[in-house]
Structure 1
Protein backbone atom coordinates (compact mmCIF):
# COMPACT_ATOMS: atom_id res chain seq x y z
CA UNK A 1 0.00 0.00 0.00
CA UNK A 2 1.56 3.37 -1.02
CA UNK A 3 1.93 6.15 1.58
CA UNK A 4 -0.91 8.68 1.82
CA UNK A 5 -0.51 11.37 -0.82
CA UNK A 6 0.20 15.05 -0.09
CA UNK A 7 -2.71 17.50 -0.47
CA UNK A 8 -3.71 17.94 -4.12
CA UNK A 9 -2.94 21.67 -4.18
CA UNK A 10 0.55 21.12 -2.75
CA UNK A 11 1.33 18.27 -5.12
CA UNK A 12 0.12 20.23 -8.14
CA UNK A 13 2.31 23.19 -7.15
CA UNK A 14 5.33 21.00 -6.48
CA UNK A 15 5.03 19.19 -9.80
CA UNK A 16 4.86 22.55 -11.57
CA UNK A 17 8.01 23.77 -9.83
CA UNK A 18 9.93 20.62 -10.71
CA UNK A 19 8.75 20.67 -14.31
CA UNK A 20 9.70 24.30 -14.83
CA UNK A 21 12.77 24.59 -12.62
CA UNK A 22 16.32 23.39 -13.14
CA UNK A 23 18.17 24.32 -9.93
CA UNK A 24 16.95 23.53 -6.41
CA UNK A 25 18.24 24.07 -2.89
CA UNK A 26 17.11 21.46 -0.35
CA UNK A 27 17.82 22.60 3.23
CA UNK A 28 16.96 21.66 6.82
CA UNK A 29 17.26 22.92 10.39
CA UNK A 30 20.25 23.87 12.52
CA UNK A 31 21.82 21.04 14.55
CA UNK A 32 20.39 18.47 12.13
CA UNK A 33 19.32 14.98 13.12
CA UNK A 34 18.79 11.83 11.10
CA UNK A 35 15.43 12.98 9.79
CA UNK A 36 16.90 16.29 8.57
CA UNK A 37 19.87 14.63 6.85
CA UNK A 38 17.91 11.69 5.46
CA UNK A 39 15.08 13.82 4.10
CA UNK A 40 17.26 16.44 2.42
CA UNK A 41 19.58 13.87 0.86
CA UNK A 42 16.69 11.75 -0.39
CA UNK A 43 14.85 14.61 -2.09
CA UNK A 44 18.05 16.07 -3.55
CA UNK A 45 18.98 12.64 -4.95
CA UNK A 46 15.52 12.19 -6.45
CA UNK A 47 15.69 15.59 -8.13
CA UNK A 48 19.18 14.88 -9.49
CA UNK A 49 18.09 11.52 -10.86
CA UNK A 50 15.26 13.41 -12.59
CA UNK A 51 17.87 15.52 -14.41
CA UNK A 52 17.80 18.55 -12.13
CA UNK A 53 20.59 20.31 -10.26
CA UNK A 54 19.86 19.91 -6.55
CA UNK A 55 22.04 20.81 -3.58
CA UNK A 56 21.37 19.24 -0.17
CA UNK A 57 22.51 21.82 2.37
CA UNK A 58 22.58 22.57 6.08
CA UNK A 59 24.11 25.48 8.02
CA UNK A 60 26.07 22.95 10.10
CA UNK A 61 27.26 20.90 7.13
CA UNK A 62 27.60 17.11 7.31
CA UNK A 63 28.62 15.28 10.49
CA UNK A 64 30.55 12.03 10.71
CA UNK A 65 27.62 10.04 12.11
CA UNK A 66 25.72 10.32 8.80
CA UNK A 67 28.62 10.75 6.36
CA UNK A 68 28.07 7.19 5.09
CA UNK A 69 24.65 8.04 3.64
CA UNK A 70 24.20 8.03 -0.15
CA UNK A 71 24.86 11.51 -1.52
CA UNK A 72 26.59 12.71 1.67
CA UNK A 73 29.88 13.43 -0.09
CA UNK A 74 28.29 16.30 -2.02
CA UNK A 75 26.39 17.68 0.99
CA UNK A 76 26.71 21.47 1.33
CA UNK A 77 27.37 23.79 4.27
CA UNK A 78 28.07 26.03 5.98
CA UNK A 79 28.87 28.08 2.87
CA UNK A 80 26.02 28.28 0.39
CA UNK A 81 26.73 27.71 -3.33
CA UNK A 82 26.28 30.83 -5.42
CA UNK A 83 23.71 31.19 -8.16
CA UNK A 84 20.01 31.41 -8.73
CA UNK A 85 17.60 28.86 -7.23
CA UNK A 86 14.36 28.01 -8.97
CA UNK A 87 13.02 26.93 -5.57
CA UNK A 88 14.30 26.70 -2.00
CA UNK A 89 12.89 23.59 -0.34
CA UNK A 90 13.00 23.72 3.46
CA UNK A 91 12.44 20.38 5.20
CA UNK A 92 11.81 19.39 8.82
CA UNK A 93 12.17 22.98 10.04
CA UNK A 94 9.65 24.28 12.57
CA UNK A 95 10.37 27.99 12.03
CA UNK A 96 12.24 30.30 9.66
CA UNK A 97 15.02 31.09 12.13
CA UNK A 98 15.87 27.38 12.51
CA UNK A 99 17.26 27.17 8.99
CA UNK A 100 19.50 30.23 9.28
CA UNK A 101 19.61 33.34 7.14
CA UNK A 102 21.57 32.11 4.12
CA UNK A 103 18.90 30.02 2.33
CA UNK A 104 16.22 32.62 3.05
CA UNK A 105 18.31 35.54 1.78
CA UNK A 106 19.74 33.70 -1.23
CA UNK A 107 17.77 34.75 -4.32
CA UNK A 108 14.69 35.91 -2.36
CA UNK A 109 12.56 36.05 -5.52
CA UNK A 110 12.53 32.24 -5.78
CA UNK A 111 9.68 30.42 -4.00
CA UNK A 112 10.11 28.71 -0.63
CA UNK A 113 8.65 25.22 -0.26
CA UNK A 114 8.00 24.33 3.38
CA UNK A 115 7.53 20.63 4.21
CA UNK A 116 7.41 19.79 7.89
CA UNK A 117 5.82 17.56 10.54
CA UNK A 118 6.13 19.93 13.52
CA UNK A 119 2.75 21.10 14.74
CA UNK A 120 4.29 24.41 15.86
CA UNK A 121 5.29 25.30 12.28
CA UNK A 122 3.52 28.60 11.41
CA UNK A 123 3.30 27.72 7.72
CA UNK A 124 5.97 30.05 6.34
CA UNK A 125 6.76 29.95 2.64
CA UNK A 126 4.95 29.98 -0.70
CA UNK A 127 4.11 26.30 -1.05
CA UNK A 128 3.41 24.65 2.29
CA UNK A 129 2.63 21.16 3.57
CA UNK A 130 2.68 20.79 7.36
CA UNK A 131 1.31 17.55 8.81
CA UNK A 132 1.88 16.93 12.52
CA UNK A 133 0.45 13.41 12.20
CA UNK A 134 3.53 12.24 10.30
CA UNK A 135 6.20 10.54 12.40
CA UNK A 136 9.04 12.01 10.38
CA UNK A 137 9.57 14.47 7.58
CA UNK A 138 11.06 11.55 5.67
CA UNK A 139 7.61 9.99 5.57
CA UNK A 140 6.34 13.14 3.84
CA UNK A 141 9.28 13.24 1.41
CA UNK A 142 8.52 9.65 0.40
CA UNK A 143 4.93 10.66 -0.36
CA UNK A 144 6.17 13.67 -2.38
CA UNK A 145 8.60 11.57 -4.41
CA UNK A 146 5.89 9.03 -5.14
CA UNK A 147 3.23 11.64 -5.86
CA UNK A 148 5.48 13.74 -8.10
CA UNK A 149 6.66 10.58 -9.90
CA UNK A 150 10.30 11.34 -9.23
CA UNK A 151 12.91 8.58 -9.52
CA UNK A 152 13.02 6.25 -6.53
CA UNK A 153 15.66 3.63 -5.82
CA UNK A 154 17.62 1.90 -3.05
CA UNK A 155 19.86 4.94 -2.39
CA UNK A 156 16.90 7.25 -1.89
CA UNK A 157 15.06 4.64 0.17
CA UNK A 158 18.09 4.18 2.43
CA UNK A 159 18.19 7.90 3.23
CA UNK A 160 14.48 7.91 3.99
CA UNK A 161 14.75 4.84 6.20
CA UNK A 162 17.32 6.68 8.31
CA UNK A 163 14.87 9.59 8.58
CA UNK A 164 12.07 7.32 9.80
CA UNK A 165 14.18 5.17 12.09
CA UNK A 166 15.88 8.05 13.92
CA UNK A 167 12.73 10.11 14.49
CA UNK A 168 10.80 7.13 15.84
CA UNK A 169 13.57 5.68 18.00
CA UNK A 170 13.77 2.64 15.73
CA UNK A 171 9.95 2.58 15.62
CA UNK A 172 9.64 2.48 19.44
CA UNK A 173 8.18 5.94 20.07
CA UNK A 174 4.47 6.71 20.24
CA UNK A 175 4.65 8.75 17.02
CA UNK A 176 5.00 5.45 15.10
CA UNK A 177 1.70 4.70 13.39
CA UNK A 178 0.44 2.19 10.86
CA UNK A 179 1.23 4.62 8.02
CA UNK A 180 4.80 4.92 9.31
CA UNK A 181 5.30 1.16 9.19
CA UNK A 182 3.74 0.99 5.72
CA UNK A 183 6.21 3.64 4.58
CA UNK A 184 9.07 1.63 6.13
CA UNK A 185 7.84 -1.49 4.33
CA UNK A 186 7.82 0.46 1.05
CA UNK A 187 11.47 1.37 1.69
CA UNK A 188 12.40 -2.23 2.46
CA UNK A 189 10.71 -3.30 -0.77
CA UNK A 190 13.02 -0.85 -2.55
CA UNK A 191 16.05 -2.77 -1.30
CA UNK A 192 16.96 -1.17 2.03
CA UNK A 193 19.28 -3.39 4.07
CA UNK A 194 17.58 -3.18 7.47
CA UNK A 195 20.36 -4.84 9.46
CA UNK A 196 23.18 -2.81 7.94
CA UNK A 197 21.42 0.55 8.26
CA UNK A 198 20.24 -0.16 11.81
CA UNK A 199 23.80 -1.02 12.79
CA UNK A 200 25.14 2.20 11.25
CA UNK A 201 22.51 4.28 13.07
CA UNK A 202 22.39 2.64 16.48
CA UNK A 203 25.62 0.67 16.91
CA UNK A 204 28.25 2.96 15.44
CA UNK A 205 29.09 5.47 18.18
CA UNK A 206 32.64 6.89 18.38
CA UNK A 207 34.64 5.85 21.45
CA UNK A 208 34.85 9.46 22.64
CA UNK A 209 31.09 9.44 23.24
CA UNK A 210 31.52 6.93 26.07
CA UNK A 211 33.57 9.48 28.00
CA UNK A 212 31.08 12.19 27.11
CA UNK A 213 28.17 10.14 28.47
CA UNK A 214 30.13 9.50 31.66
CA UNK A 215 30.47 13.26 32.15
CA UNK A 216 26.79 13.88 31.40
CA UNK A 217 25.40 11.13 33.60
CA UNK A 218 27.19 12.62 36.61
CA UNK A 219 24.77 15.55 36.32
CA UNK A 220 21.61 13.40 36.38
CA UNK A 221 18.98 14.52 38.86
CA UNK A 222 15.40 13.45 39.58
CA UNK A 223 12.48 15.47 40.91
CA UNK A 224 8.79 15.05 41.70
CA UNK A 225 9.25 11.59 43.12
CA UNK A 226 11.28 10.40 40.14
CA UNK A 227 8.76 11.51 37.52
CA UNK A 228 11.05 14.26 36.18
CA UNK A 229 14.59 13.49 35.02
CA UNK A 230 17.17 16.20 34.32
CA UNK A 231 20.60 16.35 32.69
CA UNK A 232 23.09 19.20 32.28
CA UNK A 233 25.50 19.39 29.34
CA UNK A 234 28.30 21.81 30.14
CA UNK A 235 31.23 22.93 27.97
CA UNK A 236 33.62 21.10 30.33
CA UNK A 237 32.02 17.79 29.34
CA UNK A 238 33.15 18.33 25.77
CA UNK A 239 36.61 19.50 26.83
CA UNK A 240 37.27 16.57 29.17
CA UNK A 241 35.99 13.86 26.80
CA UNK A 242 37.09 15.28 23.46
CA UNK A 243 33.49 15.06 22.25
CA UNK A 244 32.00 17.09 19.43
CA UNK A 245 28.66 18.94 19.39
CA UNK A 246 27.00 16.14 17.40
CA UNK A 247 27.82 13.69 20.20
CA UNK A 248 25.07 15.24 22.32
CA UNK A 249 22.40 13.96 19.92
CA UNK A 250 20.11 11.58 21.78
CA UNK A 251 21.75 11.83 25.21
CA UNK A 252 18.40 12.83 26.71
CA UNK A 253 17.35 9.24 26.10
CA UNK A 254 19.63 8.15 28.95
CA UNK A 255 17.35 9.89 31.44
CA UNK A 256 14.10 9.38 29.52
CA UNK A 257 14.51 5.61 29.63
CA UNK A 258 14.66 5.44 33.43
CA UNK A 259 11.68 3.65 34.95
CA UNK A 260 9.22 6.05 36.51
CA UNK A 261 10.40 9.09 34.54
CA UNK A 262 7.52 10.75 32.70
CA UNK A 263 9.27 13.93 31.55
CA UNK A 264 12.96 14.32 30.72
CA UNK A 265 14.83 17.59 30.31
CA UNK A 266 18.37 18.21 29.07
CA UNK A 267 19.96 21.65 29.49
CA UNK A 268 22.95 22.48 27.30
CA UNK A 269 24.99 25.59 27.99
CA UNK A 270 26.24 27.51 24.95
CA UNK A 271 28.40 30.32 26.39
CA UNK A 272 29.55 31.65 23.02
CA UNK A 273 25.95 32.22 22.00
CA UNK A 274 24.90 33.34 25.47
CA UNK A 275 22.06 30.83 25.61
CA UNK A 276 20.99 27.57 27.22
CA UNK A 277 19.35 25.02 24.92
CA UNK A 278 16.64 22.91 26.50
CA UNK A 279 15.35 19.60 25.15
CA UNK A 280 12.06 18.17 26.42
CA UNK A 281 10.80 14.60 26.16
CA UNK A 282 7.46 13.21 27.35
CA UNK A 283 6.52 9.57 27.80
CA UNK A 284 2.81 10.20 28.19
CA UNK A 285 0.25 11.66 25.76
CA UNK A 286 -1.23 13.52 28.72
CA UNK A 287 1.70 15.92 28.77
CA UNK A 288 2.44 17.92 25.59
CA UNK A 289 5.96 19.28 26.05
CA UNK A 290 5.70 21.44 22.91
CA UNK A 291 3.33 23.68 24.88
CA UNK A 292 6.06 24.20 27.47
CA UNK A 293 8.69 24.83 24.79
CA UNK A 294 6.52 27.45 23.08
CA UNK A 295 6.48 29.49 26.28
CA UNK A 296 10.24 29.94 25.81
CA UNK A 297 10.10 30.68 22.08
CA UNK A 298 10.65 27.08 21.02
CA UNK A 299 8.43 24.36 19.63
CA UNK A 300 8.31 20.81 18.38
CA UNK A 301 6.08 17.81 18.98
CA UNK A 302 3.91 16.68 21.87
CA UNK A 303 6.49 14.10 22.92
CA UNK A 304 9.69 15.88 21.85
CA UNK A 305 10.38 19.59 21.81
CA UNK A 306 13.09 22.16 22.35
CA UNK A 307 13.74 25.81 23.19
CA UNK A 308 16.62 28.15 23.87
Structure 2
Protein backbone atom coordinates (compact mmCIF):
# COMPACT_ATOMS: atom_id res chain seq x y z
CA UNK A 1 0.00 0.00 0.00
CA UNK A 2 1.10 3.60 -0.54
CA UNK A 3 2.36 5.23 2.64
CA UNK A 4 2.43 8.88 3.68
CA UNK A 5 5.61 10.56 4.88
CA UNK A 6 5.73 11.73 8.52
CA UNK A 7 6.17 15.37 7.44
CA UNK A 8 2.93 15.24 5.42
CA UNK A 9 1.04 13.91 8.43
CA UNK A 10 2.70 16.52 10.64
CA UNK A 11 1.51 19.29 8.31
CA UNK A 12 -2.06 17.99 8.43
CA UNK A 13 -2.03 17.74 12.21
CA UNK A 14 -0.32 21.09 12.78
CA UNK A 15 -2.93 22.95 10.73
CA UNK A 16 -5.90 21.19 12.33
CA UNK A 17 -7.82 22.91 15.15
CA UNK A 18 -8.46 19.60 16.88
CA UNK A 19 -7.57 15.93 16.69
CA UNK A 20 -8.99 12.71 18.09
CA UNK A 21 -6.45 9.93 18.65
CA UNK A 22 -8.15 6.55 19.07
CA UNK A 23 -6.48 3.47 20.56
CA UNK A 24 -7.31 -0.08 19.55
CA UNK A 25 -9.41 -2.25 21.86
CA UNK A 26 -7.47 -3.89 24.72
CA UNK A 27 -4.71 -1.30 24.29
CA UNK A 28 -1.11 -2.18 25.06
CA UNK A 29 1.73 0.07 26.14
CA UNK A 30 2.80 0.83 22.59
CA UNK A 31 -0.63 2.13 21.62
CA UNK A 32 -1.26 4.03 24.87
CA UNK A 33 2.23 5.50 25.06
CA UNK A 34 2.35 6.55 21.40
CA UNK A 35 -1.13 8.10 21.57
CA UNK A 36 -0.32 10.11 24.69
CA UNK A 37 3.00 11.29 23.26
CA UNK A 38 1.32 12.56 20.09
CA UNK A 39 -1.45 14.27 22.07
CA UNK A 40 1.07 16.02 24.34
CA UNK A 41 3.06 17.23 21.33
CA UNK A 42 -0.03 18.54 19.54
CA UNK A 43 -1.45 20.27 22.61
CA UNK A 44 1.83 22.15 22.99
CA UNK A 45 1.36 23.47 19.47
CA UNK A 46 -2.14 24.72 20.27
CA UNK A 47 -3.98 21.82 18.63
CA UNK A 48 -6.70 20.47 20.92
CA UNK A 49 -5.83 16.78 20.91
CA UNK A 50 -7.61 14.11 22.94
CA UNK A 51 -6.98 10.38 23.29
CA UNK A 52 -9.81 7.86 23.31
CA UNK A 53 -9.73 4.25 24.44
CA UNK A 54 -12.92 2.21 24.52
CA UNK A 55 -11.36 -0.23 27.00
CA UNK A 56 -9.75 2.41 29.18
CA UNK A 57 -6.14 2.34 30.35
CA UNK A 58 -4.42 -0.74 31.81
CA UNK A 59 -3.41 -0.09 35.43
CA UNK A 60 0.30 -0.39 34.63
CA UNK A 61 0.09 2.66 32.35
CA UNK A 62 -2.10 4.94 34.47
CA UNK A 63 0.96 6.84 35.71
CA UNK A 64 1.93 8.02 32.22
CA UNK A 65 1.62 11.78 31.61
CA UNK A 66 -1.86 12.54 30.30
CA UNK A 67 -3.29 9.09 31.05
CA UNK A 68 -5.88 10.50 33.46
CA UNK A 69 -7.41 12.55 30.62
CA UNK A 70 -8.00 9.61 28.26
CA UNK A 71 -11.70 9.43 27.38
CA UNK A 72 -13.54 6.11 27.35
CA UNK A 73 -16.82 7.37 25.89
CA UNK A 74 -16.79 8.47 22.22
CA UNK A 75 -17.29 12.22 21.66
CA UNK A 76 -20.51 13.57 20.20
CA UNK A 77 -18.70 16.27 18.25
CA UNK A 78 -17.05 15.63 14.91
CA UNK A 79 -13.30 16.19 14.93
CA UNK A 80 -11.49 17.83 12.03
CA UNK A 81 -8.73 15.23 12.14
CA UNK A 82 -8.69 11.76 13.63
CA UNK A 83 -5.85 9.28 14.10
CA UNK A 84 -6.42 5.53 14.26
CA UNK A 85 -3.49 4.31 16.32
CA UNK A 86 -2.37 0.77 15.54
CA UNK A 87 -5.82 -0.30 14.33
CA UNK A 88 -5.50 -2.87 11.53
CA UNK A 89 -9.12 -2.15 10.60
CA UNK A 90 -11.27 0.75 11.70
CA UNK A 91 -13.43 -1.61 13.76
CA UNK A 92 -10.39 -2.26 15.99
CA UNK A 93 -11.07 1.15 17.53
CA UNK A 94 -14.19 -0.36 19.12
CA UNK A 95 -16.71 2.25 20.23
CA UNK A 96 -14.54 5.01 18.72
CA UNK A 97 -14.78 3.65 15.16
CA UNK A 98 -17.76 5.83 14.28
CA UNK A 99 -16.04 8.95 15.61
CA UNK A 100 -13.03 8.17 13.42
CA UNK A 101 -15.24 7.89 10.35
CA UNK A 102 -16.91 11.25 11.05
CA UNK A 103 -13.61 13.14 10.92
CA UNK A 104 -12.84 15.27 7.88
CA UNK A 105 -9.39 13.67 7.64
CA UNK A 106 -8.63 10.17 8.94
CA UNK A 107 -4.99 9.21 9.52
CA UNK A 108 -4.11 5.53 9.83
CA UNK A 109 -0.80 4.82 11.63
CA UNK A 110 0.40 1.24 12.09
CA UNK A 111 3.41 -1.07 11.89
CA UNK A 112 1.63 -4.43 11.60
CA UNK A 113 1.42 -6.49 8.41
CA UNK A 114 -2.34 -6.96 8.82
CA UNK A 115 -3.29 -3.30 8.28
CA UNK A 116 -6.11 -2.86 5.75
CA UNK A 117 -4.84 0.45 4.38
CA UNK A 118 -7.97 2.54 5.10
CA UNK A 119 -8.06 6.30 5.71
CA UNK A 120 -7.12 9.48 3.86
CA UNK A 121 -3.49 9.34 5.00
CA UNK A 122 -1.71 6.08 5.83
CA UNK A 123 1.63 5.86 7.63
CA UNK A 124 2.46 2.15 7.50
CA UNK A 125 5.96 0.96 8.38
CA UNK A 126 6.49 -2.72 9.14
CA UNK A 127 10.18 -2.13 9.86
CA UNK A 128 9.31 -0.13 12.99
CA UNK A 129 9.69 -2.09 16.23
CA UNK A 130 6.79 -0.14 17.71
CA UNK A 131 4.29 2.45 16.57
CA UNK A 132 6.11 4.66 19.07
CA UNK A 133 9.00 4.85 16.59
CA UNK A 134 6.63 6.18 13.93
CA UNK A 135 5.11 8.72 16.30
CA UNK A 136 8.59 9.95 17.20
CA UNK A 137 9.19 10.75 13.53
CA UNK A 138 5.90 12.68 13.37
CA UNK A 139 6.71 14.63 16.55
CA UNK A 140 10.11 15.54 15.12
CA UNK A 141 8.41 16.70 11.92
CA UNK A 142 6.01 18.79 14.01
CA UNK A 143 9.00 20.55 15.53
CA UNK A 144 7.83 19.95 19.09
CA UNK A 145 10.75 19.44 21.51
CA UNK A 146 10.67 16.01 23.14
CA UNK A 147 10.58 16.76 26.87
CA UNK A 148 10.55 14.33 29.81
CA UNK A 149 6.79 13.74 29.64
CA UNK A 150 6.75 12.92 25.93
CA UNK A 151 9.91 10.83 26.33
CA UNK A 152 8.32 8.77 29.09
CA UNK A 153 5.29 7.98 26.95
CA UNK A 154 7.46 7.01 23.99
CA UNK A 155 9.63 4.78 26.18
CA UNK A 156 6.49 3.01 27.40
CA UNK A 157 5.72 2.29 23.75
CA UNK A 158 9.20 1.02 22.92
CA UNK A 159 9.75 -1.05 26.06
CA UNK A 160 6.45 -2.91 25.89
CA UNK A 161 6.51 -3.72 22.17
CA UNK A 162 10.11 -4.96 22.30
CA UNK A 163 9.79 -6.97 25.51
CA UNK A 164 12.19 -4.58 27.24
CA UNK A 165 14.46 -4.68 24.17
CA UNK A 166 14.67 -8.49 24.13
CA UNK A 167 12.64 -9.27 21.00
CA UNK A 168 14.13 -9.68 17.50
CA UNK A 169 12.26 -6.59 16.26
CA UNK A 170 14.83 -4.41 18.06
CA UNK A 171 17.10 -2.56 15.64
CA UNK A 172 20.06 -0.21 16.11
CA UNK A 173 17.61 2.63 15.42
CA UNK A 174 15.40 1.42 18.29
CA UNK A 175 18.31 1.49 20.73
CA UNK A 176 19.54 4.89 19.56
CA UNK A 177 16.04 6.28 19.97
CA UNK A 178 15.76 4.80 23.47
CA UNK A 179 19.04 6.47 24.42
CA UNK A 180 17.78 9.82 23.13
CA UNK A 181 14.57 9.46 25.14
CA UNK A 182 16.51 8.70 28.31
CA UNK A 183 18.66 11.78 27.67
CA UNK A 184 15.42 13.77 27.35
CA UNK A 185 14.38 12.69 30.85
CA UNK A 186 12.52 9.42 30.29
CA UNK A 187 13.08 6.36 32.49
CA UNK A 188 13.31 2.81 31.14
CA UNK A 189 13.41 1.45 34.69
CA UNK A 190 10.08 3.08 35.52
CA UNK A 191 8.37 1.28 32.62
CA UNK A 192 10.06 -2.07 33.28
CA UNK A 193 9.14 -1.91 36.96
CA UNK A 194 5.48 -1.17 36.23
CA UNK A 195 5.06 -3.64 33.36
CA UNK A 196 7.31 -6.58 34.23
CA UNK A 197 8.11 -6.37 37.95
CA UNK A 198 4.77 -5.38 39.49
CA UNK A 199 1.85 -7.82 39.60
CA UNK A 200 -1.61 -7.70 41.09
CA UNK A 201 -2.85 -10.68 43.14
CA UNK A 202 -5.04 -11.71 40.19
CA UNK A 203 -2.10 -11.52 37.83
CA UNK A 204 0.03 -13.71 40.11
CA UNK A 205 -2.71 -16.32 40.38
CA UNK A 206 -3.22 -16.33 36.62
CA UNK A 207 0.51 -16.71 36.00
CA UNK A 208 0.61 -19.70 38.34
CA UNK A 209 -2.32 -21.32 36.56
CA UNK A 210 -0.77 -20.67 33.15
CA UNK A 211 2.59 -22.12 34.14
CA UNK A 212 0.94 -25.15 35.75
CA UNK A 213 -0.73 -26.01 32.45
CA UNK A 214 2.35 -25.66 30.22
CA UNK A 215 2.70 -28.36 27.55
CA UNK A 216 5.80 -29.37 25.58
CA UNK A 217 6.16 -30.45 21.97
CA UNK A 218 7.40 -33.98 21.26
CA UNK A 219 10.97 -32.79 20.75
CA UNK A 220 10.85 -30.60 23.85
CA UNK A 221 11.74 -27.46 21.91
CA UNK A 222 8.40 -25.64 22.07
CA UNK A 223 6.37 -24.89 25.19
CA UNK A 224 2.89 -23.41 25.22
CA UNK A 225 -0.02 -22.74 27.50
CA UNK A 226 -3.59 -21.54 27.12
CA UNK A 227 -5.28 -18.87 29.24
CA UNK A 228 -9.05 -19.29 29.19
CA UNK A 229 -11.83 -16.93 30.33
CA UNK A 230 -12.58 -19.46 33.06
CA UNK A 231 -9.01 -19.26 34.34
CA UNK A 232 -9.16 -15.47 34.37
CA UNK A 233 -12.43 -15.51 36.28
CA UNK A 234 -11.08 -17.99 38.83
CA UNK A 235 -7.97 -15.87 39.35
CA UNK A 236 -9.89 -12.62 39.51
CA UNK A 237 -7.66 -11.35 36.68
CA UNK A 238 -8.20 -8.65 34.06
CA UNK A 239 -7.26 -8.91 30.36
CA UNK A 240 -4.22 -6.72 31.03
CA UNK A 241 -2.98 -9.32 33.54
CA UNK A 242 -1.95 -11.60 30.68
CA UNK A 243 0.91 -9.20 29.92
CA UNK A 244 4.22 -10.80 30.77
CA UNK A 245 3.04 -14.41 30.85
CA UNK A 246 4.94 -15.07 27.63
CA UNK A 247 8.60 -14.94 28.56
CA UNK A 248 8.03 -15.67 32.26
CA UNK A 249 10.57 -17.95 33.86
Give the TM-score of the pair, scaled to structure 2. 0.91
Q: Distance in 1 between matches of 2:235 and 2:20?
A: 36
- Greater relative contact order (CA < 8 Å, ≥ 6 in sequence): 2
Gap change, CA 1:225 and 1:42, over 3 Å in 2: same
Partner of 2:79: 85
Q: Contact (CA 8 Å) 2:14, 2:47: kept in 1 or not?
A: no
Q: Contact (CA 8 Å) 1:85, 1:107: kept in 2 or not?
A: no
1:111 aligns to 2:98 (yes or no): no
Residue 226 of structure 1 and its aligned partner are, at CA, apart by 2.1
The residue correspondences of 1:1-308 to structure 2 (distance < 5 A) are: 10-77=5-72, 79-106=73-100, 108-254=102-248
Q: For structure 1, list consecutive stretches of 5 or more residues without a partner in the other structure.
A: 1-6, 258-308
Tell me the alpha carbon deviations over residues 226-269 of structure 1, each in whole angstroms, 9 at most, x when there is no partner: 23322121222222221112111232334xx6xxxxxxxxxxxx
Q: Distance in 2 between matches of 1:249 and 1:127?
A: 31
Q: For structure 2, list consecutive stretches of 5 or more residues without a partner in the other structure.
A: none
Q: Contact (CA 8 Å) 1:231, 1:252: kept in 2 or not?
A: no
Q: Distance in 2 between matches of 1:20 and 1:139?
A: 22
Give the TM-score of the pair, scaled to structure 1. 0.75
Residue 119 of structure 1 and its aligned partner are, at CA, apart by 1.9
Tell me the alpha carbon deviations over residues 32-56 of structure 1, each in whole angstroms, 9 at most, x when there is no partner: 1110110111111111111111111
Gap change, CA 1:201 and 1:223, over 3 Å in 2: same
- Larger % of helix: which? 2
